[in-house]
Amino acid sequence: MSWGSWQAFWAMGGYGGYVWGAYGAVAAVALVETLAVRARLARARRAAAQKRRRP
């Protein structure tokens, strides 16, 4: 599949808004969920470490 130009690639044959709206949502969800679970694990680790210092 050759697009010819980046402009043609981003335009997606006139469906750019739909295609990138879908892929953008997937990327946003993947990013936010990754950060959220990592933050939750870091929080749980900190709480456990605090408990060790002051039992």
Residues that bind other proteins (CB under 8 A): 1, 3, 9, 12-15, 18-19, 21-23, 25-26, 29-30, 33-34, 37-38, 40-41, 43-49, 51-52, 55
Q: How many Cα atoms are found within 13 Å in the side-chain-facing hemisphere of 41? A: 6
Instruction: Write down the least CB distance from residue 14 to other proteins, Å.
Output: 7
Q: How far apart are CA 12 and CA 19, in angstroms?
A: 7
From the CB of 24, what's the least distance to other proteins, in Å?
10
Place of tokens 């969800």: 29
Of 7 and 55, the one with the shorter C-beta distance to other proteins is 55
